[in-house]
């Protein structure tokens, strides 16, 4: 419809100007008519309400710098040139509408439509400006733009975080990955295009069944956060296609909207190092706890051992002292005296054996036990040990069964091997009840000889089997125990067997079912075999007659012997033993007295204790060796001492003694050593 048509229609309604005036005046749209010079010709009521007043007559839009800055002036000039122009929304600070009860200033975005008004000749005489409120639209766009900026910044922040962070938002009813930090992508070992837009189950199918997907769904459904500590997860972090086990801390937290949860945020931190450190700490604490328990157990075992050792050492001493006092009283008959002497001898030997065991275990602990190794007939060793224990077995009614395979040559120390077999046999006899049986077997097993000692005794509890060969350990440490001993024998057995390159083991089916000990020893190689070493027995140089409970070797009669000991009882006992063999004995109670007697009348043999007050035996022998030969400087000397370690023997020999004899001494052995020192007895292997 053109302008002429509009005029015709308005004419049909009556006065056209009256109609247009009413339309202009009552239009709800703010309207303004501008003159070509930029002044305001006319505004309607809606304009006055929106802007609070109409422009003053002096106002000129074309001269308004703010309007020019807002981009309004140039479009209006184009409208006056005949163009219909749309001016984008411009922000105005306007009075709040009074009819809305508002007060103060309101910021409003108004869009303007500029229409040229022409006269009858078609020239533009005025411009009609219509104002449209676009405040809500502009605010929505602003919020959208700000949200977009916030999302971009959040995306940048999340991406660059040094920890694993990702967000899952609901999309078409499913939670899908929408963003993630680079660290999360690295942990997941997935590129972004393999993660974003996918559900957790689609992105990580290998995690199915580990509970993660169910946990995510539960957090989304309930809106409750979950924190998992040190939970295991499988990540393919080296890209070989095989997930590897790692440990992570994770937090699942809901993303809450206005009225519902819209998604999940996941924070994941690797804790492999922390878990490893905690595991190492726990292992260290466990080792420390075990070590402390072992130390405490060892301490208890030693305390118990000391208690047992005190009992075992005092028991024979009690018998010895008791019978000695009764002998000294002179109230015993000859039969009772013989019984007393036998009891004293038996208990003295028992106490000597206890001391030998203590010394042996001390040497073993210090690593100073030495073997005199040579070819030895193991069968003879077993037979010699059997000879020692047979009387005890017969007296107890224990049957001995022996099965020995010959030949049985091997490399070893015959004395120590006999100690091993004797320990096992004596234990078996001690623990086997009357009427029981002890079976000894020796047989070949490849390159080894195996000696087994089987008894029908009370057996060994299963839980104690691993501790049988430990030092200071006995199955029965109570004061009510039935069998004596220090519990060192089997520990010594194991050490001696291992020093021979062998092994010892024990087997028992439990209490009441006996026990079997097996010693496995290597066979000596054929090319290394030499003369067989047998155990020493009585020699033809010993008198066959027995007097006073010991044998008297030839070569003692007439010997001049100087005996030195600060202990009167020990000194008198040695003098009595020598006197029984018709030796000429001189005694001294100190090193100084001994040196004086030696200068006056040099003896054939000097026998001196090592441990003495003021000056010990080492000092004495060093002074003796500095004397001239005619004053006894070359006198053969025997060190008699309770210091029985190998290093004690070496020290004595280096000091100048010719021989070393540990206490307690057997009279026969003592006499043989003295005769040998004087050159009147053959070398029979004494110490």
Which pLDDT value is given to residue 518? 92
Task: Judge whether residue 331 has pLDDT over 80.
Answer: no
Residues 395 and 475 in one domain: yes
Number of domains in the chain: 5
Query: How confident is the model at residue 230, as a pLDDT?
Result: 55
Tell me: do 127 and 194 sit in the same domain. no
Q: Indicate whether 610 pLDDT > 80.
A: yes
- Extract the tokens encoding 578: 């020598």
Overall average pLDDT of the 456-484 stretch? 64
Verify that 382 and 516 share a domain, yes or no.
yes
The reply to whether 660 falls in a domain is yes
Domain span at 439: 371-528
Per the listing, tokens 């103060």 go with 104
CA neighbours within 13 Å on the CB side: how many for 383? Answer: 12
Q: Are residues 518 and 403 in the same domain?
A: yes
**Residue 286 located in a structural domain:** yes
Distance of alpha carbon 237 from alpha carbon 188, whole angstroms = 7
- Is 569:320 a contact under the CB 8 Å cutoff? no
Question: How would residue 4 be classed by pLDDT, with cut points 50, 70 and 90?
Answer: low
Look at residues 230, 253, 270 and tell me which one is the last residue of a structural domain. Answer: 270
Does the pLDDT of residue 537 top 80, yes or no? no
Q: What is the pLDDT of residue 9?
A: 57
CATH of the domain at 330: 1.10.287.130
The CATH number of whichever domain residue 619 belongs to comes to: 3.40.50.2300
| 349 and 405 belong to one structural domain | no
Once rounded to an integer, what is the mean pLDDT over residues 559-573? 87
Domain end point (choices 341, 362, 383): 362
**Residues 617 and 578 grouped into a single domain:** yes
Claim to verify: residue 179 and residue 216 sit in the same structural domain: yes
- pLDDT tens profile 403-445: 988 776 777 888 888 888 888 888 888 888 888 999 999 888 8
Pair 667, 555 in one domain: yes
Read off the CATH number of the domain in which 52 is found.
3.30.450.20
Contact indicator for 75, 87 with CB cutoff of 8 Å: yes
| Model confidence at 500: pLDDT above 70 | yes
Q: For the residues 15-32, what does the mean pLDDT come to?
A: 77
493 & 447 share domain: yes
Whether residue 477 sits in one domain with residue 377: yes
Does residue 22 lie within any of the structural domains?
yes
Instruction: Tell whether 687 is covered by a domain.
Output: no
pLDDT tens by residue, 191-226: 888 888 888 888 888 778 878 888 888 888 888 888
For 258, the enclosing helix (H) or strand (E) is none
pTM over 0.75: no
Q: For residue 241, what pLDDT band results from cuts at 50, 70 and 90?
A: low
Residues 605 and 621 in one domain: yes
Give the helix/strand (H/E) hosting 437.
strand 437-445
What mean pLDDT is predicted for residues 349-374? Answer: 69
Residue 539, domain member (yes or no): no
DSSP string, 572-641: HHHHHHHHHTT-EEEEESSHHHHHHHHHHS--SEEEEES--SSS-HHHHHHHHHTS-GGGTTT--EEEEE
Mean pLDDT of 66-75: 87
- Structural domain contains residue 142: no
Domain-terminating residue out of 308, 334, 362 = 362
The answer to whether residue 533 is domain-embedded is no
Residue 229 has pLDDT above 70, yes or no: no
Judged by DSSP in three states, 127 sits in strand
Q: Are strands 124-133 and 105-118 parallel, antiparallel or unpaired?
A: antiparallel
**318 part of a folded domain:** yes
Out of 449-453, 474-478, 682-686, give the one with best mean pLDDT: 449-453
Do 509 and 657 fall into the same domain? no
Model pLDDT, residue 483:
42
């Amino acid at each position: 419809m053109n302008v002429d048509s509009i005029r015709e229609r308005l004419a049909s309604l009556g006065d056209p100007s009256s109609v247009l005036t009413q339309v202009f005046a009552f239009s709800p749209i703010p309207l303004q008519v501008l003159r070509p010079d930029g002044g305001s010709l006319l505004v309607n009521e809606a304009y006055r309400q929106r802007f609070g007043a109409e422009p003053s007559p002096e106002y000129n839009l074309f001269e308004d710098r703010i309007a020019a800055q807002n981009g309004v002036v140039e479009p209006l000039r184009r409208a006056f040139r005949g163009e219909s122009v749309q001016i984008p929304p411009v922000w105005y600070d306007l009075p709040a509408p009074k009819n809305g009860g508002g007060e103060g200033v309101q910021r409003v975005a108004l869009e303007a439509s500029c229409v040229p008004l022409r006269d009858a000749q078609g020239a533009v005489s005025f411009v009609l400006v219509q104002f449209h409120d676009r405040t809500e639209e502009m605010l929505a766009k602003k919020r959208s733009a700000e949200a977009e900026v916030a999302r971009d910044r959040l995306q940048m922040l999340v991406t660059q975080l040094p920890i694993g962070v990702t967000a899952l938002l609901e999309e078409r009813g499913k939670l899908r990955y929408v963003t993630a930090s680079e660290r999360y992508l690295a942990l997941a070992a997935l590129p972004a295009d393999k993660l974003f837009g996918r559900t957790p189950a689609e992105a990580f199918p290998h995690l199915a069944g580990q509970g993660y997907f169910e946990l995510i769904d539960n957090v989304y459904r309930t809106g409750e956060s979950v924190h998992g500590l040190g939970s295991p997860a499988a990540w393919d972090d080296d890209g070989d296609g095989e997930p590897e086990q790692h440990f992570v801390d994770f937090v699942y937290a809901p993303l809450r909207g206005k009225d519902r949860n819209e998604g999940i945020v996941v924070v994941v931190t690797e804790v492999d190092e922390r878990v490893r450190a905690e595991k190492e700490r726990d292992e260290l604490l466990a080792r420390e706890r075990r070590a402390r328990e072992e130390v405490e157990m060892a301490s208890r075992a030693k305390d118990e051992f000391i208690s047992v050792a005190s009992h075992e050492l005092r028991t024979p001493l009690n018998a010895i002292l008791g019978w000695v006092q009764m002998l000294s009283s002179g109230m015993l008959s000859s039969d009772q005296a013989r019984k007393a002497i036998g009891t004293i001898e038996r208990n003295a030997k028992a106490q000597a054996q206890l001391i030998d065991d203590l010394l042996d275990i001390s040497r073993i602990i210090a690593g100073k036990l030495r073997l005199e190794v040579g070819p030895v007939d193991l069968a003879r060793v077993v037979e010699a040990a059997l000879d020692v224990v047979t009387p005890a077995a017969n007296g107890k009614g224990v049957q001995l069964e022996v099965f020995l395979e010959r030949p049985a040559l091997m490399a070893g120390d015959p004395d120590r091997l006999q100690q091993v077999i004797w320990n096992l046999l004596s234990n078996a006899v001690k623990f086997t009840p009357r009427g029981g049986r002890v079976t000894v077997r020796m047989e070949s097993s490849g390159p080894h000889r195996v000696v087994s000692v089987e008894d029908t005794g009370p057996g060994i509890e299963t839980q104690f089997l691993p501790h049988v060969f430990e030092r200071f350990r006995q199955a029965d440490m109570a004061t009510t125990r039935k069998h004596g001993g220090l519990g060192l024998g089997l520990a010594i057995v194991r050490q001696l067997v291992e020093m021979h390159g062998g092994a010892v083991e024990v087997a028992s089916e439990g209490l009441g079912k006996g026990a079997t000990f097996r010693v496995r020893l290597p066979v000596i190689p054929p090319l290394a075999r030499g003369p067989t070493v047998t155990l020493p027995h009585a020699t033809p140089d010993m008198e066959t007659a027995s007097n006073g409970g010991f044998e008297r070797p030839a070569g003692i009669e007439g010997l001049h012997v100087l005996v030195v000991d600060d202990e009167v009882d020990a000194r008198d006992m040695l003098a009595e033993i020598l006197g029984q063999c018709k030796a000429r004995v001189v005694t001294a109670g100190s090193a100084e007295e001994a040196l004086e007697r030696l200068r006056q009348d040099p003896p054939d043999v000097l026998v001196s204790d090592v441990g003495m007050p003021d000056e010990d035996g080492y000092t004495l022998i060093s002074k003796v060796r500095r004397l001239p030969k005619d004053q006894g400087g070359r006198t053969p000397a025997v060190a008699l001492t309770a210091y029985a370690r190998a290093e004690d023997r070496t020290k004595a020999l280096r000091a100048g003694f010719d021989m070393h004899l540990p206490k307690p001494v057997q009279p026969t052995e003592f006499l043989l050593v003295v005769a040998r020192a004087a050159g009147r007895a053959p070398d029979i292997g004494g110490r």
